[in-house]
Amino acid sequence: MNENPQTSQPSATSWLPSWFTHPAHLELDSGFHLRPLRAVDVDLDLPAVLGSRLSLWARYGFAWGWPPADLDRDGDRRDLERQEQEMSAGTSFSYGLFDEAEEALGGCVYLDPPRGGPGGADVDVTWWTVDALVGSAVHAELPGALRGWLARDWPFTRPRFVGFDLSWPEWALLPDPA
């Protein structure tokens, strides 16, 4: 069975330096920005997820079993509450991709403890945009912007972009972080 890395709970000190505080914001040239997802974002998150559910399932379904066909507001709120708690604990990080006015969620970025043995990646990164933004300026900007952000504002030197640098089936075969 494949486990959702968003639910694993490694200690923050085993993954990140004790002095580290996660960034609160990343402004993008395309007019979008990243900020931590919160449970109160459910009314923006749910339409984004459901509106792109088939493409999200094609990307994450194999590894995470997400998003489920029966996802509703309560289930999405619980997911966002868990992600918010994990972010507070420093065990994983979930950022929303918002338009300037924060009237719409355009996607998400997830940073998780890496799977695999010593000498591999020091963070597993994955991201998605809603179907309507695929091929857009923000979609094209994200890979480079994320790499720069990780190098500049995070204590990572070997990020792995799961689904890009490594396929999801290859990722699923790596040992789970313990």
What CATH number should be reported for the domain holding residue 80?
3.40.630.30
Whether 4 is in a domain gets the answer no
Whether 7 is in a domain gets the answer no
CA dihedral of residues 168, 60, 93, 148 (deg, nearest 10): 60
The closest alpha carbon to 107, from 49, 54, 50, belongs to 49
Q: Which domain holds residue 98?
A: 26-173
pTM for the complete prediction?
Answer: 0.90
Whether 84 is in a domain gets the answer yes
Specify the number of domains making up the chain.
Answer: 1
Angle between helices 42-51 and 53-64 (to 10 degrees): 90
Whether 117 is in a domain gets the answer yes
The residue that leads in pLDDT, 171 or 40, is 40
CB 91 within 8 A of CB 12: yes
**What rounded mean pLDDT belongs to the chain?**
90
Whether 6 is in a domain gets the answer no
Whether 56 is in a domain gets the answer yes
Per-residue model confidence as pLDDT tens digits over 89-117: 999 999 999 999 999 999 999 999 999 86
Structure tokens at 150: 């990780």
